[in-house]
Structure formats: C-alpha cells, structure tokens
C-alpha cells in the first residue's frame, strides 16, 4: 500500500508539487485572514465589587451593605456564580459570569 503511494507520487510528482503549492497558498491566505487573540481568555468574565464601609463591624457590613447588594445583583443576565466576603469596614462581592458574556456589559 505504502509502496504504491510512493511509486505514484514519484511518477506524478508535478501533480504532488502543484497540490502542495495550492495547499500552501490556501494555508497562508487563511493565516492572514484569521482573527487571533495573542493571549486567549480561558477564565470566565469576573467582576469584583468592593465597598468600603467606614466604622462598621463585620456583622453590620454584612447586613447593611453586602446582603442588599447581593439581592440587587441576583438577577443579572449571564450570572453564573456570586461569592461575597464581609470584613471590618469592607464588603467584597465576586461575580462570575458565563463564558461569552461581554465584560463591559457585565460591569
């Protein structure tokens, strides 16, 4: 089988060379037309909201800042996961959106 391919390739070498040239031109044409991101984004779109709350204890930050913000963000389109953390004087909410969600719209 391989012997027949090699013999026919040597016999019709101009056809093989023409086919290789056509494939090279087609490949270069596609190479210059394709849109390539230098660093593709594998991580999903993330938005972090940090809200400073001067003078509040963690329990107060949780009840007065974090919970109302979580309730307001709960129905966002494309929202996949919401995590929050409340510490003294700071509320941090991490929103993870589905792949393909426009990051500017998510913000």
* pTM for the whole structure: 0.61
Q: Name the nearest CA neighbour of 74 among 93, 87, 52.
A: 93
Contact 58, 84 (CB under 8 A): no
Parallel/antiparallel/unpaired status of strands 90-97 and 46-52: antiparallel
3-class SS of residue 84: strand
pLDDT tens over the chain, length 107 residues: 899 989 998 999 999 999 999 999 999 999 888 887 677 777 888 999 999 999 899 999 999 999 999 999 888 888 999 999 999 999 999 999 988 888 888 78
Asked if 99 and 106 touch (Cβ cutoff 8 Å), the reply is no
């Amino acid at each position: 089988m391989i012997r027949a391919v090699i013999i026919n390739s040597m016999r019709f070498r101009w056809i093989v060379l023409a086919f290789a040239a056509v494939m090279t031109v087609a490949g270069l044409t596609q190479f210059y037309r394709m849109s390539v991101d230098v660093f593709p984004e594998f991580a999903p779109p993330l938005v972090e909201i940090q809200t400073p709350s001067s003078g509040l204890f963690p329990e107060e930050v949780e009840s007065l800042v974090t919970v109302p913000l979580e309730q307001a963000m709960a129905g966002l389109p494309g929202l996949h996961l919401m995590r929050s953390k409340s510490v003294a004087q700071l509320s941090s909410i991490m929103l993870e959106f589905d792949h393909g969600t426009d990051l500017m719209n998510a913000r």
